[in-house]
Amino acid sequence: MELKYTNILVAIDGSKEADWAFKKGIEIAKRNHAKMLLVHVIDTRSFALVEAYDTVIGDRAEKMAKEMLVNYKKQAEEAGLSDVQYEIDFGSPKVRIPRELAKNHKIDLILCGATGLNVVERIFIGSVSEHIVRYAPCDVLVVRTEKETD
């Protein structure tokens, strides 16, 4: 069996750890000549509190997510990757990423940042990265440290 990754998913949530995960993902994708899928899941649970503004907030969140992912895609291509896609999804990130997105895209490596959520939410719900590690059908790299710049 060849130890080579072909489809890499990077979970992007706007945090600095996710940015580090993205940068490390570029290196891994280059070494493996792998495809990269950048994913942002808009957590619809946070809209439940403000139902009246649902569509407005949803549209705004989607627009911001798209700008963020387009920017990351551009950075990845400038770094030398030829096959970079992005996807915006809705729901709970910790469920959608390992259970649906990873399977649908035949992902063999997921990269995500170590934190992202606030402390209170981590205590009650468990972090997104923790869930991804538990339920992913593939290898997961949880990034805690910045990529050393050359």
Ordered structural domains, the chain, with CATH: 8-143 (3.40.50.620)
pLDDT tens digits for 48-69?
666 655 677 778 889 999 999 9
Distance of CA 146 to the CA centre of its chain: 16
Residues with Cβ < 8 Å from 78, sequence gap 6 or more?
Answer: none
**150 residues of the chain, pLDDT tens digit each:** 568 999 999 999 988 889 999 999 999 999 999 999 999 998 877 666 666 556 777 788 899 999 999 999 999 999 999 999 999 999 889 899 999 999 999 999 999 988 655 555 555 556 788 889 999 999 999 998 887 765
